[in-house]
Amino acid sequence: MHAIEISAYGAPDVLRLVQRPRPEAGEGEVRIRVSASGVNRPDVLQRRGQYAPPPGAPDLPGLEVAGVIDSGDVEAMEAAGLRIGDRVCALVAGGGYAEYCVAPIGQCLPVPRGWSDVEAAGIPETFFTVWSNVFDRGRLQAGETLLVQGGSSGIGVTAIQMARAMGARVLVTVGSAEKAEACVRLGADHAILYRSQDFVAEVARLTGGRGVDVILDMVAGPYVAREIDCLAEDGRLVIIAVQGGTEAAFDAGKVLRRRLTITGSTLRPRSVAFKAAIARELRQHVWPLIERGAIRPVVHRVFPAGQAAHAHALMESNQHIGKIVLDWSGAAA
């Protein structure tokens, strides 16, 4: 099969289109003939040598795929209501940048009705992450307000739509007027231009001084102290990436007095059982929203798989709005 490997740690051009043996599905697994692979920030970090795959995971990058079940554990598939030939999208711990990929059966979901494989390939990493962090850890409820740092990212556009569909109000930070307009079209109530506006002051203004209930943060570092000032009483700050650094200084007294929660998580190293539980919740609570059009795909650009380096360069430029996807239909291109 064709696959994209990291030939050495470094810039996007270290990604190489190579031939690899097809993986074989084991107990509780399926093999997917991949039509499309989502591109995510952890893939970039892995390429730089800053995010090693968990033990036992393939060395190939790629955390989400869509395609057709090619083979697998028949008994486990039957128990899950799946069979060979089904179109699925799947969250994987690695190996997604390839024409064939093995996935745990519990981490597979049906491609939503009316969605292409390219659109579905952008579902697993962002939907699993948002559900786990915004709704499970952050406990966002209808009528509450969510602040998303980086509203135009793949995570951001998913969080906007999912939160609005669940009855929450959504504020986002973005880097340009174009991104602000895109986020508002997707359902954000307000978009804050972080380069020219103080997001702490804007949150206070937009909430009448109350603050927001939940913050989804991909920055951390110096943002943490400012985000604490944005939270309402009993507010929850959920950190899912540390693009601004791992160290943060803040006033712990504010956390005590206002009963705040600071938490965070990474999804990739979690167990199959944990991820399978998220998949079941998505199927129950989110798939009906997708099928009635309350949540729609947001694909910024599709690259032939052989141009993975260009996809990574776009990801690093931060110029995209929504998902970046690799198309395997012409893998040698």
Q: Is 323 helix (H, G, I), strand (E, B) or coil?
A: strand
Task: Give the residue carrying structure tokens 């949150």.
Answer: 203
Same structural domain for residues 292 and 242?
no
Q: Give pLDDT, residue 330.
A: 78
Same structural domain for residues 228 and 251?
yes
Residue 32 forms beta bridges with which residues? 69, 101
* CATH number for 222: 3.40.50.720
Same structural domain for residues 252 and 311?
no
Domain count, the chain: 2
E strands, 20-93, are: 29-39, 64-72, 87-91
Distances (CA, A) of 122 to 65, 91, 117: 8, 10, 9
> 200: domain range?
138-264
Same structural domain for residues 106 and 11?
yes
Same structural domain for residues 256 and 290?
no
Per-residue pLDDT of the chain (333 residues), as tens digits, is 999 999 999 999 999 999 999 999 999 999 999 999 999 999 999 999 999 999 999 999 999 999 999 999 999 999 999 999 999 999 999 999 999 999 999 999 999 999 999 999 999 999 999 999 999 999 999 999 999 999 999 999 999 999 999 999 999 999 999 999 999 999 999 999 999 999 999 999 999 999 999 999 999 999 999 999 999 999 999 999 999 999 999 999 999 999 999 999 999 999 999 999 999 999 999 999 999 999 999 999 999 999 999 999 999 999 999 999 999 997 655
Same structural domain for residues 87 and 31?
yes
Q: Give pLDDT, residue 11.
A: 98
Q: What are phi and psi of 321, to 5 degrees?
A: -125, 105
Assess if residue 143 is contained within a domain: yes
Which of 264, 283, 301 corresponds to the end of one domain? 264
Same structural domain for residues 280 and 317?
yes
Which of 264, 289, 316 corresponds to the end of one domain? 264
* CATH number for 6: 3.90.180.10
Same structural domain for residues 40 and 103?
yes
Q: Give pLDDT, residue 325.
A: 98
Same structural domain for residues 116 and 146?
no
Assess if residue 332 is contained within a domain: no
Q: Give pLDDT, residue 331.
A: 67
Same structural domain for residues 100 and 158?
no
Same structural domain for residues 113 and 161?
no
- Taking the C-alpha atoms of residue 148 and residue 159, their distance in angstroms, rounded to an integer, is 7
Assess if residue 237 is contained within a domain: yes
Same structural domain for residues 206 and 247?
yes
Q: Give pLDDT, residue 6.
A: 98
Which of 264, 283, 318 corresponds to the end of one domain? 264
